[in-house]
Structure 1
Amino acid sequence: MIVDALGRRFRNLRVSLTAACNYACTYCVPDGKKLQAADFELSAQQLVYAVELLVDAAGIEKLRITGGEPLLSPKFDALLPAVMGLPLSDVSVTTNGQLIPRKADLIVDSGLRRINISLDTLNPERFRAIARSGDLQTVLKGMALMREAGLKIKVNMVPMRTQNADQILPMLDFCLEHGMELRYIELMNMGHLRFGSGFQRDFLGMEDILEMIAARYEFTRTDAPYDSTAVRFEIPGHGFFGIIANESEPFCSSCTRLRLSSNGRLYGCLSNAANHDMRPVLALPHHHAMASLQSTLVKALGDKQDLSFKGEVTVMKFIGG
């Protein structure tokens, strides 16, 4: 097992099926243009083999399928059932939910038990302004289908001071009412936000979010797993919510995440543009691939920040946020 000086190892793998996305969210891209597929993206078969190798070589226990928008990729239909058969303790999907109604049967039939759906507002006009595409009602329909099928749903919201701060409480009310756990994700200093004024203008930290929630609810902080990215809170009699406080309460020192981009690059850290090409390993038989992969994983683990997120120009959607 590969372990660094802080006791970190890779336990969680996030695989980007494609860099393409049917949204162009304001916090992700600067110009409103939808992201396109990357050059030389891996096939579904290659991605499944990559996951198999990383499970064996790094001891990966949990897998999250991401994008871009993973449901937009034709590879999703083949990859999801395949990875559900691997020796993993947890498999989840992160999606903007726009295509869930089309993929609902596939998702349910695969045996998937957990899904993360990104949603930043319940206001249809604001939805279009932030996502710059899509339809709110279709996303809400997808959520309902997943709830009816018994999947556990987490809802990801990025609160922004000038765009959806007034939705912090309505979103929480909605999620509590429907038995879903809301995760507020602090705006990340990445991509086009890295050097502009947008990050400072729109950033809302954990203290700001909790102050708004405290105006309506009493809550207590609960324990979270060692390598959890979220600070989790319980509202007695109602449910839970979390805050991924990458700026307010950094979790780098306990991070166990490894990311595989759709074109075969391994990233050990979101706050480090360093990456490692896994494609040559995928051309090798399993026993040779395992030997070659060990040194790559050592380098990727060495890319992690020790204490806190420093920011990076990399666009998260390219590497499987």
Structure 2
Amino acid sequence: MVVDRQGRSFRNLRVSLTAACNYACTYCVPDGRRLVAASDELSAADMASAVTLLVEATEIDRLRITGGEPLVSAKLEPFLRLISGLEIKDISITSNGQLLAQRLPLLLEYGIRRLNVSLDTLDAQAFREIARSGDLGSVLHGLELARVAGVRIKVNMVPLRGANENQILPMLEYCLERGFELRFIELMRMGHLARDTANFSRQYFGMDEILELIGSQHTYIQAPAPLDSTALRYEIAGLGHFGIIANESAPFCRTCSRLRLSSSGWLYGCLSSSNRHALAPLLSKPHDEALSELQELLAGALADKRDSTFSGALIPMKAIGG
């Protein structure tokens, strides 16, 4: 097991099943064009082999399947089938929810009982302006079906000044009423926003402002969270919880245990680094040789982690898994 000087190791793997997405959210892509799958993406079998190697070489016991948008990928079913026998205590999926109603039976069949669904507003017009695609009603319908099926749901919202900050309280009420945990994600300096500092500053709506708004309607206290959690959690007595992923206000770098595998087979150890490490070539090598070389890659990826401050990187989040 590879451990750095701060005692961090990789325990949480995020796999970008595909770079393709049926949305073109304003904070993810600058030009309104949807991301499409790269021609060099790994097959479902190769992706499963990569995950198997990583689980063997590390203490990874949590896997989140991301994208792009994983529910658009034909690789989803074979990938889930191939990894179903691995000793991973928790497998979850992050999705925009557009295809959730159609894909829910497949997720339930393979034991997926935890979802993170990205939803930035309950206003249909604002939804189209931010996502630049999709249909709000379909997302809400999918969420309801998943709730009835007993799936644990977290809803991810990115507050954007001038676009949806007026939805913070309505989104909170919607989630509290349904037993969903709403997580506010501070706007991240990723992709085009790493360069466009003026646009980032104009849209950024931070933790203090979020808490001030919620405090105008609810009394809350900070709640316990796992040591390597990305979110600060809060409890509203008798109603439920919400969280804030405060990349700018309260970075979680010191305890980060996340490793990302891109759809093209690159390992990323830190969102504040564009450094990448090629895992794909190891898949054709003998098992022992691949494991030995993987340890070197993991050491490099772990060394990429920042000590305390999140700064973002030029690579888009959808390219490496949200």
TM category, shorter: over 0.9
CA deviation after TM superposition for structure 1 residue 311, in Å: 2.0
**Equivalent position amino acid for 1:309 in 2:** F
SS in 2 for 1:291: helix
**Equivalent position amino acid for 2:51 in 1:** V
User: What are the residue-to-residue correspondences of 1:217-256 with 2, within 5 Å?
Assistant: 217-256=218-257
8 Å CA contact retained: 1:84, 1:112: no
User: What are the residue-to-residue correspondences of 1:171-210 with 2, within 5 Å?
Assistant: 171-196=171-196, 197-210=198-211
TM-score by length of 1: 0.99
Residue 300 (str. 1) matches residue 294 (str. 2): no
Runs of 4+ more than 3 Å apart: none
**Equivalent position amino acid for 1:166 in 2:** N
Equivalent residue number for residue 47 of structure 1: 47
**Equivalent position amino acid for 2:144 in 1:** A
Equivalent residue number for residue 313 of structure 1: 314
**Equivalent position amino acid for 1:313 in 2:** L
Equivalent residue number for residue 264 of structure 2: 263
Q: For 1:101-130, what per-residue CA distance to the aligned partner results, in whole angstroms no more than 9, with x for missing partners?
A: 111110111111101000000001110000
User: Matched residues in 1 for 2:85 and 2:27: separation?
Assistant: 35
User: Matched residues in 1 for 2:313 and 2:76: separation?
Assistant: 28
Equivalent residue number for residue 95 of structure 1: 95
Equivalent residue number for residue 135 of structure 1: 135
Ranges in structure 1 where 5+ consecutive residues have no aligned partner: none
Q: For 1:268-316, what per-residue CA distance to the aligned partner results, in whole angstroms no more than 9, with x for missing partners?
A: 0011000011111111232221111111100010011111111211101
Q: For 1:131-157, what per-residue CA distance to the aligned partner results, in whole angstroms no more than 9, with x for missing partners?
A: 000000000111011111111000000
TM-score by length of 2: 0.98
8 Å CA contact retained: 1:231, 1:243: yes
User: Matched residues in 2 for 1:120 and 1:293: separation?
Assistant: 38
SS in 2 for 1:194: helix
Q: For 1:226-247, what per-residue CA distance to the aligned partner results, in whole angstroms no more than 9, with x for missing partners?
A: 1000000000000000000011
CA deviation after TM superposition for structure 1 residue 82, in Å: 2.7
Q: Number of aligned pairs?
A: 321
Equivalent residue number for residue 160 of structure 1: 160
User: Matched residues in 2 for 1:73 and 1:314: separation?
Assistant: 21
Equivalent residue number for residue 144 of structure 1: 144
SS in 1 for 2:195: coil
Mean Cα displacement is larger for which, 124-133 or 308-317? 308-317
CA deviation after TM superposition for structure 1 residue 250, in Å: 0.6
8 Å CA contact retained: 1:8, 1:255: yes
User: Matched residues in 1 for 2:286 and 2:48: separation?
Assistant: 14
Equivalent residue number for residue 274 of structure 2: 273
**Equivalent position amino acid for 1:45 in 2:** A
